[in-house]
């Protein structure tokens, strides 16, 4: 397997490999964070060795915690959720499912992967440069991110590398988006109209359309931020600032403008993360119910509706940002509107199962788990989408619970489902079903145990992005909750070892699979 291969199947596996590395890295970061939250004063020798400046004598500093948190979010959102579902599975299976012999632009495909890999390396480099990784979160709001190192450690070179990494990722994603869209439009087999494509293909198609427009805007925002940091411009930097006793000379810029540019990308981004998974879940539920997907056309239209409406709701991340309160009302109505096609998809999944003959393979377990998690995670959107209610919950653990359930769990379950489902096609063998189901049960319990309690930390008003909770009387009551969540997180992480073992062991020793092990009807399972 040549590493600069232009074969879509190789590139698909490369993206999956990159995502696997990234999810492990991101998960380890989250375990370190969870540990620190409940043991903020414990010195850990390993921390002192890894980060002599960030954890002198093994005592983690707040800035180190925040930089690990920034890296956790960035790695998970970009290098896990925006790679595996779309460019991982999509590259491998889109051509096969539409009867094309490869993607439209194989060389561009190879370049997309390697630009993504370079982007990841650039990001990881931030951990080891002077000052370390940035501490401004994956959202990098200026002026915190826009003034350079006077706002905090990691805000110098670390933040520059972060921006550069994201810019590279934008370029890679735009290249991939063009490739996917042209492939769907031009390379479908002659007998395959748009409404004959499997829903997986619709998922990849709409995701690519979203990416095309969203990443273009993120790239623009990132360039302006980089210029503010390094070229003396004031796109986002207002006047009258004094930071660290130093009066800043620039003026006229608007921090809220950055938020508009960022979230114009940022909201569609979450649909990029989930839409491929939705397409896949439709397929898996259908195959293992022995029935066609219920409401295929409605499902395809719902994907388009989510993609389209997803572009006009970004302001719900900014209800209390200082933007016009009238905008908040408009965004709120649109946000609850975008919940409608998502609900419709859920009904159609239930209707697909209804009257079926359900086979509970490991893939089916994860697909059913996805539906349950999508309900649990999605439903709190109806609370957060009301600005009058968000006025309490914004920037609390309630939001953390919401997006982790939807992205950090449901979307991940779709990836697990896809791996179990497609492993026979990718490796000619089955993933071990028993281990798969064990992994599912432990993980399903684990994710509920980690993320549901965090809603209640949110009810107490527990702010997010705090390295510890020592300073506040009112946070004493949530400590038992956090201790429980941390232990659940250790359990959840340990359960993933089962998957890791299964994934690598089965590639060599898994039971050999026939050409169409599941009795599916889509083209990738055909002999030719």
Partner 1 sequence: MAIAILIAALAGATLALFFQPRWWFPDAISAHAKDYDAQLLFTLWVVGSIFVLAQGLLVWVIFRYRDRGQAPSVNCGSTKLELLWTSVTAMVFLALAFAGQGIWAGVHLKNSDPSALRVEVMAKQFAWSYRYSGADGAFGRVDIRQIDDAGGNPFGIDSKDPKGDDDLTAPILRVPAGRPVELLLKSRDVIHNFFVRELRLKQDVVPGMTIPLHFTADKPGAYEVPCSELCGLGHHQMRSALVVMAPDAFEDWLLEARQKVVLP
Partner 2 sequence: MTNVARTGQALLIAASSMFFAAFTSAMVVRRGLSGDWITPLLPTWVWATLLLGPLASWLIQRGHVRPAMAAGAALVSSQLALLAGLRLFVIGEAFFGVLIAAHAAHAVAGVAAIGRFGARASLFWHFVGALWIYLVFLFEVWA
Q: Segment 232-271, which members bind partner 1 (CB under 8 A)?
A: 238-244, 247, 253-256
Binding residue (CB under 8 A) for partner 1 from 46, 121, 128, 358: 358
For residue 176, is the peptide bond before it cis, meaning its omega torsion is within 30 degrees of 0?
no
Residue 498 within binding range of partner 1, rule CB under 8 A? no
Residue 243 φ then ψ, to 5°: -120, 130
Tokens 């769990």 label which residue?
409
Minimum distance from residue 234 beta carbon to partner 2 (Å) = 6
Site for partner 1 in 268-327 (CB under 8 A): 289-298, 320-322, 325-326
Least Å from the CB of residue 74 to partner 1: 14
Q: Does residue 273 sit in helix, strand or coil?
A: helix
Sign of CA dihedral 395, 401, 406, 411: positive
* Span interacting with partner 2, options 112-120, 256-264, 302-310, 365-373, rule CB under 8 A: 256-264
Q: Which does 481 bind (CB under 5 to 8 A by kind): partner 2, partner 1, none?
A: partner 1
Return the one option of partner 1, partner 2, none that residue 421 interacts with (CB less than 5 to 8 A, by type): none
Handedness of CA 452, 470, 139, 82 (dihedral sign): negative
Applying the rule CB under 8 A, the residues between 47 and 66 that interact with partner 1 are 61-63, 66
Cβ neighbours for 81, distance < 8 A, ≥ 6 positions apart: 272, 273, 407, 411, 412
Do 342 and 378 touch, CB atoms closer than 8 A?
yes
Nearer to partner 2, 104 or 135 (CB): 104
Q: Cα separation of 144 and 159, whole Å?
A: 10
- Measured from the CB atom, the residue of 66 and 225 that comes closer to partner 1 is 66
SS3 512: strand
Please report, as residue ranges, which positions from 428 to 447 form the binding site for partner 1 (by CB under 8 A).
441, 444-445
Binding window for partner 2 (CB under 8 A); candidates: 20-28, 157-165, 170-178, 271-279: 170-178
DSSP secondary structure code for residue 7 in this structure: -
Candidates 6, 254, 327, 516: give the one binding partner 2 (CB under 8 A): 254
Residue 351 is a binding residue for partner 1 (CB under 8 A): yes
Which residue in 80, 98, 104, 164 binds partner 2 (CB under 8 A)?
104
Please give the backbone phi and psi of residue 102, each rounded to the nearest 5 degrees, phi first: -170, -175
Estimate to the nearest angstrom the gap between the alpha carbon of 151 and the chain centroid.
28
Q: Is 486 in the site for partner 1 (CB under 8 A)?
A: no
CA distance 392 to 379: 17
Q: Which residues from 140-169 bind partner 1, rule CB under 8 A?
A: 141-144, 147, 151-153
Q: Are 478 and 248 in contact (CB under 8 A)?
A: no
At closest approach, how far in Å is the CB of 341 from partner 1? Answer: 8
Six-digit token string for 265: 């990308």
State the residues that interact with partner 2 by CB under 8 A. 104-105, 174, 177-178, 181-182, 185-187, 212-213, 215-217, 219-221, 223-224, 227, 231-235, 238, 250-254, 257, 260-261, 264
């Amino acid at each position: 397997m040549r590493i600069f291969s232009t074969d879509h199947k190789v590139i698909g596996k490369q993206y999956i490999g990159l995502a696997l590395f990234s999810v492990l890295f991101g998960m380890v970061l989250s375990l370190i964070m969870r540990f620190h939250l409940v043991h903020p004063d414990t010195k850990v020798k390993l921390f002192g060795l890894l980060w002599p400046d960030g954890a002198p004598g093994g005592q983690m500093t707040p800035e180190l915690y925040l930089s690990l948190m920034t890296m956790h979010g960035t790695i998970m959102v970009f290098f896990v959720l925006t790679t595996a579902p779309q460019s991982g599975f999509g590259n491998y299976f889109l051509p096969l499912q539409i009867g094309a012999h490869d993607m439209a632009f194989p060389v561009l495909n190879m370049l997309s992967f390697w630009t993504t890999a370079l982007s990841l390396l650039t990001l990881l480099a931030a951990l080891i440069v002077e000052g370390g990784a940035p501490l401004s979160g994956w959202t990098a709001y200026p002026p915190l991110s826009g003034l350079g190192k006077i706002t905090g450690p990691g805000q110098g070179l670390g933040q520059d590398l972060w921006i550069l990494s994201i810019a590279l990722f934008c370029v890679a994603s735009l290249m991939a988006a063009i490739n996917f869209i042209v492939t769907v439009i031009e390379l479908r087999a002659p007998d395959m109209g748009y409404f004959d494509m499997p829903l997986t293909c619709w998922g990849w198609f709409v995701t690519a359309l979203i990416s095309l427009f969203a990443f273009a805007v993120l790239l623009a925002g990132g360039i302006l931020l980089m210029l503010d940091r390094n070229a003396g411009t004031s796109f986002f930097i207002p006047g009258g600032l004094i930071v660290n006793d130093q009066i800043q000379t620039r003026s006229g810029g608007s921090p809220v403008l950055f938020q508009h540019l960022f979230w114009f990308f940022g909201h569609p981004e979450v649909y990029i993360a989930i839409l491929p998974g939705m397409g896949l879940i439709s397929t898996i539920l259908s195959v293992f119910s022995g029935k066609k997907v219920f409401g295929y056309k409605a499902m395809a239209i719902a994907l388009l509706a989510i993609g389209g409406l997803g572009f006009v709701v970004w302001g719900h991340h900014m209800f209390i940002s200082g933007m016009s309160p009238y905008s908040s009302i408009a965004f709120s109505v649109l946000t609850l509107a975008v919940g409608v096609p998502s609900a419709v998809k859920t009904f159609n999944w239930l209707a697909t199962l209804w009257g079926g003959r359900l086979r509970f393979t490991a893939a089916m377990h994860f697909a059913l788990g996805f539906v349950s998690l999508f309900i649990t995670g999605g439903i709190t959107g109806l609370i957060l989408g009301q600005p009058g209610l968000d006025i309490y919950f914004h920037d609390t653990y309630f939001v953390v619970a919401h997006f982790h359930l939807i992205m950090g769990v449901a979307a991940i379950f779709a990836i697990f489902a896809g791996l179990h489902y497609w492993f026979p096609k990718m490796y000619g063998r089955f993933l071990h079903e028993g281990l798969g189901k064990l992994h599912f049960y432990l993980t399903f319990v684990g994710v509920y145990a980690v993320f549901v309690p965090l809603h209640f930390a949110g009810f107490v008003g527990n702010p997010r992005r705090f390295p510890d909770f020592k300073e506040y009387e009112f946070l004493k009551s949530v400590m038992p909750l956090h201790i429980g969540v941390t232990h659940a997180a250790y359990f959840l992480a340990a359960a993933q070892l089962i998957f890791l073992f299964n994934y690598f062991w089965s590639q060599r020793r898994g039971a050999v699979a026939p050409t169409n092990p599941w009795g599916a009807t889509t083209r990738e399972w055909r002999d030719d």
